[in-house]
Amino acid sequence: MAVRARIPESWASRETAANQSSKVARERIKQDLNRDRSALVQHTEVEAFTVYAQGSYKNYTNTRGSSDLDLIVQLREPWKRDLSNLTEAEVERYHANTKSADYGYDDGFRDSVVQALRQFYRESPFKDPVSNTGKAIEITGRHNPLPIDVDVVAAQEYRVYQSYPANGDPEYKEGMLFKPLESDEWWKNFPKEHYKNGNAKHDNFRETVRVFKNARHRYNDNHIFGVSAPSYYIECLIYNVPAEILKRTDLTDRFDETIAWLESDDRDYDSFDQVSEMAALFGDENTQWSKSEADSFVSKMRTLWDEL
């Protein structure tokens, strides 16, 4: 009788050494940006922004080889909002209670974040670890004084209001918006809702995400044409797998049954949400995935399973 292939237990593990490095980097950046002499504090106020983590380190889905920490520096006031869930009376109440602000995201907030980071981490124009390009501000390279590479997203708070009562506090889901450098297109995400929902999922959820991320690395190490599925979308894909599969104790059974379900007629991509449950996983928006790329990922995971 042939011996059944097994998923390596190491695929489910987190990179614990890097976890400490990410904590040190996060605390140092937060402390530096909040200093009185920080360019960000000088241009805004300490109370006007917050610094928090998102991504694999925050969500406990980082694996060996996870190379950077994702941080958000978020402008809290003013915020952008979605009032579509409110009644006409609630919308009027919102506008009556909300004042316009003198300073906003488009008034140089990202530039102030870059200036503050360089203020503390750049030794000279020739020893500058801060790269202001694309979607994130990167702190990386041999001149990086932090123990890990960091991607910093300068963002603005975004609120999707659920209610705005005459008495009591309004209810809203908090997200964030940002614009990539030299772009007028807003990118929208809900990292706090993402973390909360992932935390409420079965304990095996995050472990299963790590298994599939490591499986992606294994596939790419052994095939010329690899799979480019981003970690965020893998996490969202696994979030939609039925709980009875995620609860399987045996890693090999869970991996096999997850692939089988994603290949089955029971799987309906149109019903898949992102982990935040604030947007569909698949579509044409800039934060959504394509069904064809998801199918390609699942197909290559099947190929990997058959090769084990």
pLDDT digits (tens, 9 = 90+) for 207-258: 999 999 999 999 999 999 988 899 999 999 999 999 999 999 999 999 999 9
- Residue 179: CB atoms within 10 Å: 17
Answer yes or no: is pLDDT of 5 > 80. Answer: no
Residues 28 and 123 in one domain: yes
Residues 239 and 151 in one domain: no
Q: Dump strand ranges (E) for the chain.
A: 49-54, 68-82, 130-132, 137-139, 149-163, 171-178, 187-189
Residues 243 and 161 in one domain: no
Residues 241 and 94 in one domain: no
CA distance 119 to 157: 25
Which letter, b or e, does each residue of 112-133 get, where b requires 16 or more Cβ atoms within 10 Å of its Cβ?
bbbbbbbbbbbeeeeebbbebe
Answer yes or no: is pLDDT of 14 > 90. Answer: no
Residue 2 lies in a domain: no
The average confidence (pLDDT) of the chain is 92
* Boundary (domain end) residue, out of 164, 189, 214: 189
Instruction: Please compute the mean of the pLDDT values over residues 181-206 and round it to a whole number.
Output: 94
pLDDT of residue 65: 66
In total, the chain counts a number of residues equal to 308
Residues 182 and 223 in one domain: no
Domain limits at 44?
Answer: 9-189
CA distance 128 to 138: 11
Residues 127 and 23 in one domain: yes
CA distance 201 to 275: 10
Residue 246 lies in a domain: yes
Residues 129 and 93 in one domain: yes
* Boundary (domain end) residue, out of 189, 224, 242: 189
For residue 80, the Cα-to-chain-centroid distance in whole angstroms is 19
Q: At what angle do helices 204-222 and 251-263 cross, to 10 degrees?
A: 80
pLDDT of residue 76: 93
Residues 93 and 240 in one domain: no
Residue 22 lies in a domain: yes
